[in-house]
Structure 1
Amino acid sequence: MSTPTAGQLALADRIAHGGPAPVAAISHVAAAAYTDPARWAAEKTALFDRLPQVIAPSALLPRPNTAVPHDGFGKPLLITRDADGRAHVFMNVCRHRGTRLVEGMEAQYAPRLVCPYHAWSYALDGKLVGLPRADSFPGLDKTSYGLVELPSRETSGLIWFAFATDADFTAASAVGPDFDAFGLGGLHLFRRHTHDVAANWKLIMDAFLESYHVQRLHAGTIGPFFKDGVTAADKIGPHQRSAVGRVAELAALPPGDWPALRAAVTFAYQLFPATVIVVSPDYVNLMVLMPRGHDRVLVEDFMLIPEAPATEKARDHWQHSWDLLDTGVFGGEDFRAATLGQQGLESGAIEWLTLGTLESGVRHFHEEIESRLNTG
C-alpha cells in the first residue's frame, strides 16, 4: 500500500475542514513577459539551459534495451534504458562523423544501436561496442568514444535531465515521495501526443496554476465534475502542488484512508520550470512543455493508467478519457485559450495582466522565474 505524504494529507484536510486563508491581493504580470523575444532568450539561458527538466515518464521505456529518440528540446536527444534497467539521456549523435544515430521518434528495442552511415554500434549504456574495419582506426580507444551523455536522474516514475553538466537535481528528488504515493513508477503508458501551440510557454503553465477558469472555460467538458470542489495549494521548493475535492466526501472519510481520499481528490503538480502533472483518481496526465520561442511551445501529453488494458471494453474506457482530455480539454480548451491569449497580448492592447486572489499560484510562479533571472 502506498503511503501519502504529510503535505498531501494536509491539503485534503484543508479542503475538508477549512483553514486560514492565505494572504493575497490583486497583483500583475507584465505583458512583455510573454511577448518579448529578449525575455524568452533570458529564460532559455537561466532556466532551460541550466535547470533539470522532466523529459518523460519511466513508463515510456518499460523494459531494458529500449531507446526513444527525442527532438522536442531543439537538439537530437536519445532516452535509453540499458540492459541493467538504468535510464540515460544521450545526444542522439554518432561519435564517428556526427550522424544522427537513431531515426524517427518511436521506441526502438535492441541490445545495440547501429549508426546508419558507417555502422558504428553502441550499447544502450552509451558504450561504443563495435566498428567495422577497426584496423583502419589504429590506436582508437573505444572507451573514449561513447555517446555524449547528459546529466539525468530517474526518480519516482519520472526521468529528468539537464543540459548543464553541473545541474542540481535536489528539487527533482523533493517531489519524489508524493509520486511514490501515487505509484507513478508502476503505471502503464496508454497514449502520448505532442501539441504544437502558438503561445508563450508560460500561458500554458498559468492555466494549471489556478482553478478560476475551470467553471468557465471547461463548462461543457470537465467543469461539472468540479462544481462543488474546493481547492487548496502549497509549494515544494520551486514546485507547486494543488488539490481539488468535494468537502462533504472528504469530511466523511476516516483519517488515513488513502485509497478513499485518492478517489475523492484530484491533485495537480506544476514542476518548475515547465512540467504539469494532473493526478485524477484513476489515471495520470503528464504534460512536458518544450518552448521553441517566445510565441511557440511543444507540449507532449502522456496518459498513464494502472495497467495495460486486458479487454476491448477496458481499452475503450481509457480511450474515451484520453479523447476527452487530450483533444477536448487540453487541446480544444486550455491550449486554445493560450493561443488566443498570445494573440491578444501581441496586439499591445494591455500592458499588464491582472491576477485576482484565486490566481495566486500564477503570481508565485512568475516570482520564481524572476528570482532565477535576477540571480542568473
Structure 2
Amino acid sequence: MSAVDTKHPARRPTDGMLALAKDIAEGRQRDSIGTSTVPAHVYTDPDYWAREKAAIYDRLPQILCPSALLPDPGMAVPHDATGRPLLITRDAQGAAHVFLNVCRHRGTRLVEGSEVQCTKKLVCPYHAWTYAVDGRLLALPRPDTFPGLDKDAYGLVELPSLETGGLIWFSPETQGADFAQAEMLGEDFDALGMGEHVLFRRKTHRVAGNWKLIMDAFLESYHVTRLHAKTIGPFFKDGATSGDMIGPHARSAVGRLEEMEGVDLEKMADLRRVVTFAYQLLPGALIIPSPDYINVMVMMPQAHDLTLVEDFMLIPEHPSSDKARDHWERSWALLDGGVFAGEDFRAAELGQQGLATGAVPHLTLGTMEGGIRRYHETVEEALRAAN
C-alpha cells in the first residue's frame, strides 16, 4: 500500500537521484576505492572526540528534527541533546525558529520536558515573563519595577536556522552560518515529498557506541544480507550500489536489479519501489526513504562511546483506518525496534566493545565499504578546517 503512488503520481526524482539509479541499472560502479583502512583510535580516543565536538558539532549546521514534529503554528519543543538548551518553535505565520531555551530575565530554563507543546505563549515558571513563539517578550509582571526596560531588546536569543525539504536545521555558530549545502539537499527531499509527510512515531535510542560506528552501518551494503538476514536482508543483493557526494554529505543508492527492467526510473513512485536511497549527512544524520515512508535519524553524541539517536518515522498522511495504522505499526516495529535498534545499533555497540580492547589497530575496508572511507575523510577535512 504505497501512499506515494496515489498522492503524488507525477513526482519526479532530481537529476542526481536519477543518475545514481541509472548507474545501478546500467552496471556502472562509481566507487573505485580498493582495500583501505580507518584507524581504530578515531572511535575510542576521548581526545579525538573532543576535537570532533569542537570542530564539527559546535560549529557546523546540523539537523534538529523533521518539520513534521511541529506541523502547526503555535507549537514549541525543547531540545537538549546537542549540549545546549534549545527551543524549536513554529510561529503564527508558520515559520520555524530555534532559540536558546533561556528566559532573558534571570536565565531560567523557559520550557521543561521534551514533548511538543501547543501554545501561543511561553511563560517562565520563575517570574512569569511571557514570550511569543516568535521570540518576542510580550509581558512581565510589575513592569514598573523595571524602569526603562525595552521589551524589544529582551526577546529570546535566536540561533541561525533553516527549514528546507521537510527538515529543520540550525547552526551553533551565530555568525557566518552557511546553509547552502542544506538547501541543495532540500531539493532531493522535496522530490521525496518529505515536507508533506506527517509524523507517525518518534523515539530516542541510547547507543553505547561512537557516533561514527552508527554512521558506518549506513555507509556500506556489505553487511545488509548478513546482519539483516532475518529481517530486510532478503530484499537486497550484493553489489548493486552507487553513491556520490553533495558537498560534505553522502548520497547512496541500493537497487534490486532483478526488478528494475522496464521500470520508468523518472517516476518517483516506481523508482522508490526498486531503489532504496540513503543520505548520510555531516555531522551525523541519516535519511532513509523506504518505498512508502521515510526514517529520519539524528545522531547526538554525548561522549566518545555514547550516542543518542532520535528516530522519526514519517508517513504520507495520517492513518485513515485501523488497517492503515496496523500497516505503519508493523513497519515501525520492523525497522525501529528490529533492524535499527536490534541489529545496526547493536552492531555499533559490539564494535565499540571490541575496538576498546585495542586488539584491532585499524578497521580494514573492502570495495563495498568505500563510503566509510569517504565519510572519515570528510570528518578529517572538517577537523583540519577548524584548526
TM-score tier after normalising by the smaller chain length: over 0.9
8 Å CA contact 2:222–2:238 kept in 1: the answer is no
Kindly provide the amino acid, as one letter, of the partner of residue 303 in structure 1: M
How far off its partner does 1:263 sit?
Answer: 1.9
The C-alpha deviation readout for 1:95-138, integer Å capped at 9, x for no partner, is: 11111111111111111111111110100110100101111110
Match of 1:85 in 2: 94
Instruction: Identify which of 184, 187, 212 aligns with 1:202.
Output: 212
Match of 1:214 among 224, 242, 256: 224
SS in 2 for 1:78: strand
Residues 1:350 and 2:360 are matched in the alignment = yes
- Does residue 284 of the first structure (1) align with residue 294 of the second (2)? yes
Using structure 1 for the length normalisation, give the TM-score: 0.98
What's the CA shift string for 1:155-191, capped at 9, x where partnerless? 1100000111122111111111111110010001000
Amino acid at match of 2:53: K
- Find the aligned partners of 1:123 and 1:291 in 2 and give their Cα distance: 31
After superposition, what is the alpha-carbon deviation per residue over 1:315-364, rounded to whole angstroms, capped at 9, x for unaligned? 11101100111111111111110001001111111111111110000000
Aligned residue for 1:368, secondary structure, equals: helix
TM-score scaled by structure 2?
A: 0.95
How far off is 1:226 after superposition? Answer: 1.3
| Contact 1:88–1:149 under 8 Å retained in 2 | yes
Q: Is the 8 A contact 1:2 1:180 kept in 2?
A: no
**Equivalent residues in 2 for 1:95-106 (5 A)?**
95-106=104-115
Indicate the residue corresponding to 1:130 in structure 2: 139
Q: CA deviation at 1:231?
A: 1.4
**1:25 aligns to 2:39 (yes or no):** no
Determine if the alignment matches structure 1 residue 47 to structure 2 residue 56: yes
AA in 1 matched with 2:301:
P
Amino acid at match of 1:258: M
d(CA) in 2 for partners of 1:64, 1:209:
36
**Alignment root-mean-square deviation, CA:** 1.2
Partner of 1:3: 12
Contact 2:30/2:242 (8 A) holds in 1: no
Change in 2 beyond 3 A, CA 1:137/1:213: same
State whether structure 2 residue 188 is matched by structure 1 residue 147.
no
Question: Equivalent residue for 1:112?
Answer: 121
**8 A contact 1:276–1:288 mirrored in 2:** yes
Structure 2 unaligned blocks of 5 or more: 1-9
1:38-68 per-residue CA deviation (whole Å, 9 max, x = no partner) reads 1001101110011000000000000001001
Query: How many percent of aligned residue pairs carry the same amino acid?
Result: 64
The residue identity in structure 2 corresponding to 1:177 is E
1:224-303 aligned at under 5 Å gives the runs: 224-227=234-237, 230-254=240-264, 256-303=266-313
How far, CA to CA, are the matches of 1:117 and 1:129 in structure 2? 16
Other-structure match for 1:176: 186
Where do 5+ consecutive residues of structure 1 fail to align?
Answer: none
| Distance (Å, rounded) in 1 between the aligned partners of 2:273 and 2:358 | 44
**Partner Cα distance (1:20, 1:206) in 2:** 20
Change (3 A) 1:254 1:284: closer
* Equivalent residue number for residue 36 of structure 1: 45
Aligned to 2:202: 192
2: CA distance, partners of 1:358 / 1:260: 26
Q: CA deviation at 1:228?
A: 7.0
1:374 paired with 2:381, answer no
Conserved in 1, the CA contact under 8 Å of 2:196 and 2:316? yes
Count of residue pairs the alignment pairs up:
376
Equivalent residue letter for 2:136:
K
